[in-house]
C-alpha cells in the first residue's frame, strides 16, 4: 500500500517548485493589487450619487459633518431663519451641493398665509432658470446626431422670422446664446398682453436689427422659445413630453414640469406673491408658460438640486461631458451684467453667456449661474462644476434679498472672508433677478 503514495523524481521536483515559488507569486500579486489601487483610485470613496432618499434626508446632518467640508451649515441655517423674519419673505426653499453630494435641503416659511409649510417637495416656478433646460435638451439632441448647433435656426423653428431673413444666418447656438441681432426682450410686452408666441416670432422680422446674428448679445424670451419648436420638430413630441423623457425622468426629477397645470396639480405648491407675507397671493401668470423654453419649468427644491448635480457631470449617462461643455462654454461677453451685479463686484470680475447659462469669474474661479423672476416668484442657481459645489434657491415673493445667499455659500466653498451678502445687518440694494417677465414692473431689469 505504501507504494500507492510514493512519488517519482519529476513530481517531487514540482512540489519543491511550488513550495518555493508560490509564496513569491502570491506576494507579487498583492503588490500589483496595491499598486493598481493607488494608480487608478480603486478603493477610494464612492463617487457622488444623484439625488437623496427620504431616509438620507432625515439624517442629512451626518452629510454636513463630512471630513473636509467647507460649508458652515448651521450658520447658513441661522442666516436663512433671520432672512425669513423679513416682512418681504413668504416661503423659501434652499439646496446646497458640496463635493457633488446634496448636503443641505430645507424649506422655510409657508406656501401662502395660513397655508402649508414649505417643504423640500413644495413646487415653485423656475422662471428663467428654464433656459438651461432648453439649452441642455437641444445640446443633448445635437449630441445624438439629430441636429447641429451650427445649422441655421430657421431650419428647425418654422415660426421664427428675423429682420432681413436672418433666421437663415443665425445658428441654433446663436438662438440659445441670445445673439440673434434683436434688441433686448423683443415682443415680451405683447406676450404679456396675450398674443400668441408663434405669431410674435413671425413679427420679429419687422423689427430693426441692432447687429448681425452672432455679433452682439441681447436677452430674449419670445425668440428664445424657438428652442421649444426645435425640440418638437426633432423629437415629434410636445416640448413638455420630450423634456420629460429626455431629461427629467432619466435624472429622477419627478416633480418637474413645464406647464401651469403641472404647478397647480402638485400636492404642495407655493402661491405667488408680489408683496410680503401679509399680502394676498396673486394669480399664477400664464404668459411665460406659453414660452416654456424661456420660463416654463416648475419643480421642488429637491429636483432643482438634482438638476444642479447633473450640470456638474454627476450623471454622464444623461448629460454627457460633451453636452455640458457645449452649454457651459462662453459664447458672448456680457459686460453689462457686471453693472447689474454691481453689489457683488468684489467677487464677480468677468461675465459671459453660454447656451442658456451665465458664466462668471468668481474671485478667480469659473462658476456657472442663472437667476429667474416671474410675477410672484424668484429663483437662483450658482455652482462650480470643477469643485462640484453650489447652491439653488426658490422663493414665492418679489424681493431680491435672498440673491445674496449664493455669494455667502460660494465664499465658504472658496474659503473667502465672509461678507453680509444677504444684507441682514446692513440693508443694501441687491442685484436684480434674471426675469422671464421682462417688461412688467414686478420683473426687475434684464
> How does pLDDT run across 289-317, given as a tens digit for each residue?
999 999 999 999 999 999 999 999 999 99
- Bridge-based pairing state of the strands 332-333 and 348-353: antiparallel
Q: Which pTM was predicted?
A: 0.88
User: What does the domain layout of the chain look like in residue ranges?
Assistant: 2-30, 54-127+254-413
Q: What's the confidence (pLDDT) of residue 441?
A: 33
Kindly state the cell numbers that stand for 196: 400668441
Q: Which is higher by pLDDT, 34 or 132?
A: 132
CA separation for the pair 53, 120 (Å, rounded): 12
Sign of CA pseudo-dihedral 421, 426, 432, 433: positive
Kindly state the cell numbers that stand for 105: 435641503
Q: What's the confidence (pLDDT) of residue 398?
A: 95
Q: What's the confidence (pLDDT) of residue 443?
A: 38
N- to C-terminal Cα separation, the chain:
100
Across-strand partners of 257?
A: 298
Q: What's the confidence (pLDDT) of residue 445?
A: 29
Letter string b/e over residues 50-64, b meaning 16 or more CB atoms within 10 A of that residue's CB: bbbeeeeeeebeebb
Q: Which of 42-46, 90-94, 120-124, 235-239 has the lowest mean pLDDT?
A: 42-46
Task: Look at phi and psi of residue 407 and say left if phi exceeds 0, alpha if psi is from -120 to 50, else beta.
Answer: alpha
CA separation for the pair 323, 135 (Å, rounded): 10
Q: Please state, in angstroms and as integers, the Cα–Cα distance from residue 235 to each residue in 122, 240, 409, following that order.
A: 30, 11, 39
CB-count exposure of residue 254 (10 Å: 0-12, 13-18, 19+): middle
Residue 250 pLDDT exceeds 80: yes
Can you give the C-alpha Rg of the chain in angstroms? 27
Across-strand partners of 391?
A: 96, 382
Would you identify the CATH topology of the domain 54-127+254-413? Beta-lactamase (3.40.710)
Q: Of 297, 381, 307, 369, whose CA–CA distance to 125 is shortest? A: 297
CB-count exposure of residue 40 (10 Å: 0-12, 13-18, 19+): exposed
Q: Please state, in angstroms and as integers, the Cα–Cα distance from residue 336 to each residue in 98, 147, 341, 348, 402, following that order.
A: 30, 32, 9, 12, 22
Q: Please state, in angstroms and as integers, the Cα–Cα distance from residue 181 to each residue in 149, 257, 330, following that order.
A: 17, 31, 18
Q: Which is higher by pLDDT, 444 or 199?
A: 199
Residue 14 pLDDT exceeds 70: no
Query: Is 184 within 8 Å of 217 (Cβ atoms)?
Result: no
Q: What is the pLDDT of residues 405-445, one digit of tens each?
A: 999 999 999 999 999 999 999 765 545 555 555 434 333 32
Residue 106 pLDDT exceeds 60: yes
Query: Is 115 within 8 Å of 107 (Cβ atoms)?
Result: no
Q: What is the pLDDT of residues 260-292, one digit of tens each?
A: 999 999 999 999 999 999 999 999 999 999 999
> In this structure, what are the phi and psi dihedrals at residue 73, rounded to the nearest 5 degrees?
-65, -40
Across-strand partners of 377?
A: 374
Angle between helices 130-143 and 321-328 (to 10 degrees): 130
Q: What's the confidence (pLDDT) of residue 21?
A: 57
Exposure on the CB side of residue 367, measured as CA atoms within 13 A: 25
Amino acid at each position: 500500500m505504501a507504494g500507492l503514495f510514493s512519488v517519482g523524481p519529476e513530481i517531487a521536483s514540482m512540489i519543491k517548485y511550488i513550495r518555493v515559488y508560490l509564496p513569491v507569486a502570491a506576494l507579487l500579486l498583492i503588490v500589483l493589487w496595491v499598486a493598481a489601487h493607488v494608480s487608478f483610485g480603486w478603493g477610494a470613496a464612492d463617487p457622488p450619487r444623484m439625488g437623496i432618499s427620504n431616509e438620507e434626508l432625515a439624517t442629512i446632518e451626518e452629510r454636513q459633518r463630512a471630513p473636509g467640508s467647507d460649508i458652515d451649515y448651521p450658520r447658513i441655517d441661522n442666516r436663512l431663519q433671520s432672512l425669513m423674519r423679513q416682512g418681504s419673505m413668504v416661503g423659501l426653499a434652499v439646496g446646497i451641493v458640496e463635493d457633488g453630494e446634496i448636503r443641505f435641503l430645507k424649506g422655510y416659511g409657508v406656501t401662502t398665509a395660513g397655508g402649508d409649510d414649505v417643504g423640500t417637495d413644495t413646487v415653485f416656478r423656475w422662471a428663467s432658470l428654464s433656459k438651461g433646460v432648453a439649452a441642455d435638451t437641444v445640446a443633448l439632441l445635437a449630441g445624438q446626431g439629430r441636429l447641429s448647433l451650427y445649422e441655421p435656426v430657421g431650419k428647425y423653428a418654422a415660426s421664427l422670422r428675423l429682420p432681413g431673413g436672418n433666421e437663415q444666418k443665425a445658428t441654433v447656438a446663436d438662438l440659445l446664446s441670445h445673439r440673434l441681432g434683436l434688441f433686448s426682450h423683443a415682443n415680451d410686452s405683447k406676450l404679456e398682453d396675450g398674443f400668441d408666441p408663434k405669431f410674435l416670432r413671425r413679427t420679429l422680422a419687422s423689427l430693426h436689427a441692432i447687429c448681425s446674428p452672432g455679433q452682439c448679445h441681447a436677452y430674449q424670451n419670445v425668440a428664445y422659445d424657438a428652442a421649444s419648436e426645435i425640440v418638437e420638430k426633432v423629437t415629434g413630441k410636445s416640448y413638455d413630453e420630450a423634456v420629460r423623457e429626455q431629461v427629467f425622468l432619466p435624472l429622477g426629477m419627478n416633480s418637474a414640469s413645464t406647464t401651469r397645470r403641472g404647478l397647480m396639480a402638485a400636492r404642495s405648491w407655493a402661491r405667488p406673491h408680489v408683496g410680503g407675507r401679509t399680502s394676498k397671493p396673486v394669480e399664477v401668470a400664464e404668459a411665460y408658460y406659453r414660452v416654456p423654453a424661456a420660463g416654463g419649468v416648475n419643480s421642488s427644491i429637491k429636483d432643482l438640486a438634482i438638476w444642479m448635480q447633473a450640470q456638474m457631470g454627476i450623471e454622464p449617462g444623461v448629460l454627457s461631458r460633451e453636452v455640458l461643455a457645449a452649454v457651459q462654454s462662453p459664447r458672448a461677453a456680457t459686460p453689462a451684467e457686471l453693472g447689474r451685479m454691481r453689489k457683488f463686484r468684489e467677487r464677480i470680475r468677468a461675465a459671459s453667456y453660454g447656451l442658456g447659462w451665465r458664466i462668471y469669474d468668481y474671485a478667480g474661479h469659473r462658476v456657472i449661474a442663472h437667476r429667474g423672476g416671474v410675477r410672484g416668484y424668484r429663483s437662483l442657481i450658482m455652482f462650480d462644476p470643477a469643485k462640484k459645489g453650489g447652491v439653488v434657491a426658490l422663493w414665492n415673493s418679489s424681493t431680491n434679498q435672498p440673491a445674496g445667499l449664493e455669494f455667502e455659500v460660494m465664499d465658504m466653498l472658496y474659503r473667502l472672508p465672509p461678507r453680509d451678502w444677504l444684507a441682514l445687518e446692513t440693508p443694501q440694494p441687491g442685484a436684480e433677478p434674471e426675469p422671464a417677465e421682462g417688461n412688467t414692473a414686478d420683473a426687475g431689469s434684464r
